[in-house]
Amino acid sequence: MTDTDRSDLLTAISSAIAAAPTGKSAMQQVVRLLKDAIPYYTWVGIYVVEGDELVLGPFLGKPSPHTRIPLGKGICGAAVTEMATIVVDDVNADPRYLACSIETKSEIVVPILRDGHALGEIDIDSDQPAAFGGRDRELLEPIAAMLADAWEDE
Ligand code: SME
């Protein structure tokens, strides 16, 4: 996918979020558009912070055993605790990693931040090693910011 294609994808996602009737629908559209557009995004999901846990919301890919993750656990928990994007080139070499599928080789987790706290996160796994880099951050961090703006508090 070229940089122009990624720019078009970001525009399409921005429009979809703006048109979505609910925050949940916005999340579903983001997951669908990302999964369909980028072949190495093997599993795409959004976790929502609820109390001291992350709860799995919309996702596409194989069902994950990790539908609830304590904030202190996993790469998912670390991204929320650190309030920063985490890229893991080799999940099997990271002691924090909670396995979702044996085919997964690398992962990116981008927190959805508002007013200095995390509302949730975008979690993407790839079956390719070291799949994620600067271009993925440049795509996903603006999407996380858009989701934060569209967020509906419970
Ligand atoms: N790998 C994540 C758990 C979620 S699954 O990838 C869907 C983690 O280590 O936190």
CATH number for the domain that contains residue 85: 3.30.450.40
Q: How many domains does the chain have?
A: 1
Ligand 1 center to residue 77 CA distance, Å? 9
For the stretch 87-100, pLDDT in tens is: 999 999 999 999 98
State the average pLDDT over residues 130-148: 97
Our mutation pick for probing the ligand 1 site, out of 48, 62, 75, 82, counting the most ligand atoms within 8 A of Cβ, is 75
Half-sphere exposure of 43 (CA within 13 A, CB side): 26
Would you say the pTM of this structure is higher than 0.85? yes
Q: Domain span at residue 76?
A: 3-150
Does pLDDT of 111 surpass 60? yes
- Measured over the CA atoms of residue 34, residue 57, residue 115 and residue 17, the dihedral's sign is positive
Does pLDDT of 141 surpass 80? yes
State the average pLDDT over residues 125-152: 96
pLDDT value of residue 154: 55
pLDDT value of residue 16: 97
Q: Which tokens belong to 79?
A: 């991204």
Our mutation pick for probing the ligand 1 site, out of 31, 41, 56, 64, counting the most ligand atoms within 8 A of Cβ, is 64
Residue 4's pLDDT band (cuts 50, 70, 90): confident
C-alpha span between 68 and 21 (Å, rounded): 26
C-alpha span between 101 and 82 (Å, rounded): 25
